[in-house]
Each structure stands twice: as structure tokens, then as C-alpha cells.
Structure 1
Amino acid sequence: MKFYHFELAGRTLMDIEGLGTQIHDCARVRKLIDKHGEKFLYEVFTEREITFCSQRSHSTEYYAALWATKEAVFRSLGTKWKRGISWHDVEVLCTKAVGPKVVLAGPTKERAIKKRVAKIRVSFAYSRMFATATAIALK
């Protein structure tokens, strides 16, 4: 999928390399956490992500949102989680000042470099039932 840049007030904006979106059922995520505990958490999330989510009053919803964000990032790069790709290849860091920021590592970072992706913008939202995320890979 290839999108082309456009101009806004005579200023060229970045090309969009890819777009990814994902939705997760928060109840399903809660069941996975209850059933597998820390094994599941440490398989999918980094230490910083676990610390961030566990400090929130709606931790399940945050886990679901960050997981959806990771999948949306994979999709924006034209790939998906599979053998050889780690959930830890995509780390979602959240700050009040900047909002969610993505840090890539491993084969996922290599793929982004190969595709000449300069930046990945992400956004997520959640309710009691669902968490959704969108990622846009920009050149």
C-alpha cells in the first residue's frame, strides 16, 4: 500500500508508508492476565510498559490499548507478529507531555529502516469493553 504526500498551505507533508489499526476486547485481555499472569505480561510487554499499566486504575484497559498499539504498528509496517518477531520489538511509551511514543527494536526496527520510515505516529483509546489503536508509518 502506498499513499502519496499532499500539500497544506504550500508546505509538503510526509509520505504515508502504511496505516495500521487494531481493536481488542478488554475482557479477553483480563482473562489472559488472570490465566497466565506475569508470564503473559512479560511475553507481550516490556518492563516499562508493565510499570506504566500497573500504576493505572484501569490497568486492563491500558494493557489492551498498548497491545492493540503494538499490532497496529506491525500492520503499518506491512508485517505482523510471527516467529522471529517479538512483541518487545515495539515498545509504547506514554507521557503526558508528548502522548504515546513508539520505540522500535530488532527485526521490526530493521524493517522500518528498510522501508525508510522516519516516524510512526500512534493513537489509542479505550472503554470498559474495548481498546483500539491506530498507527501511521511516515517517510
Structure 2
Amino acid sequence: MENEILKSLDELVAATNCTVGNDLVFIPDFKASFNELFKNKVYTPAEIAYCNQFDNAILHYASTWAAKEAVYKAIKQVDTATLGWKKIEIIRQKAGGKPQVIVHQNPDRFKISLSISHDGDYAWAIALIDTNV
């Protein structure tokens, strides 16, 4: 029975053709190393505007960074081409809205599902890419 379950799980994973990436950010360390050079190298103007609208902007910078890292890790499993941080953009239509991903160098290549969470001193993100697209 156990072998049948494992075989079914292997078949399911193979059939889904997806990759996954995740990232966990310890916010106190992120805050200590955050500076203008990093912000301008990593974040798009829209991401900066989104994060700066909150009283605790650093939390939103950290969660957006976790999201970018998660997306990057998922993409790198299927595409080894160079991908700059500003080529991955995390957008939301409203404060606290559903995060969406734009990969600027290939906007239609990947179908990406993204979830971002934060609790206490941590921000976490997970990205799933459907490679059937």
C-alpha cells in the first residue's frame, strides 16, 4: 500500500509540471541591512510607492523581498538566464491586496501563484510556477 501511495504521489508531482520557490526573511536583520542603495537596486518605483504608503514600511519591503526571492528560486529551476531583481515585480491593486508577479523580460512565459505572509519578526513567501504554460 505504501509503495502505491508513493507511486501515486510521484505521478501527481510529475503531472503537475510546477516548480516552487520560497523565502523566509528575519525582519530585524533585514532592517539592519536595509539602505537606499539596496532599495534602489532591488525595488521598482511601483514597489517603493506601495511599501512607503505604510507606517511600518520596512515590513512591506521585507515581505516584497521574500516574494522576489521566492519567485526567483522557482524560475531558476526552469530558466538559468540572468534575471535582475527589478525584472521581477510584485504588484498589488490595493493595500493588502492579492500579490501578483510580473516578470518583465518574459511577461507571458510563466503563470505564477504567489502567497506572502508575515508574523512577528518574520516575513515569508511562496511562489508556484505552472510550467505547462
Q: Which bin holds the TM-score, normalised by the shorter protein?
A: 0.7 to 0.9
The answer for the alignment partner of 2:127 in structure 1 is 135
d(CA) in 2 for partners of 1:45 and 1:58? 17
The answer for the alignment partner of 2:31 in structure 1 is 30
d(CA) in 2 for partners of 1:78 and 1:84? 9
The answer for the alignment partner of 1:3 in structure 2 is 13
The answer for the alignment partner of 1:103 in structure 2 is 102
Q: CA deviation at 1:92?
A: 0.1
d(CA) in 2 for partners of 1:120 and 1:40? 25
Q: Does 1:123 align with 2:115?
A: yes
Gaps of 5+ in 2: 1-11
Q: How does the TM-score come out when normalised to structure 2?
A: 0.76
The answer for the alignment partner of 1:41 in structure 2 is 39
Residue identity (%):
24
Report the structure, 1 or 2, having the larger strand content. 1
d(CA) in 1 for partners of 2:37 and 2:91? 21
Residue deviations 1:36-65, cap 9 Å, x none?
Answer: x32110111111001100111221111111
**Which structure: larger Rg?**
2
Q: What code does the residue aligned with 2:99 have? A: P
Runs of 4+ more than 2 Å apart: 2-5, 82-85, 95-98
Q: CA deviation at 1:94?
A: 1.4
Aligned length: 117
Gaps of 5+ in 1: 6-14
Q: CA RMSD in A?
A: 2.5
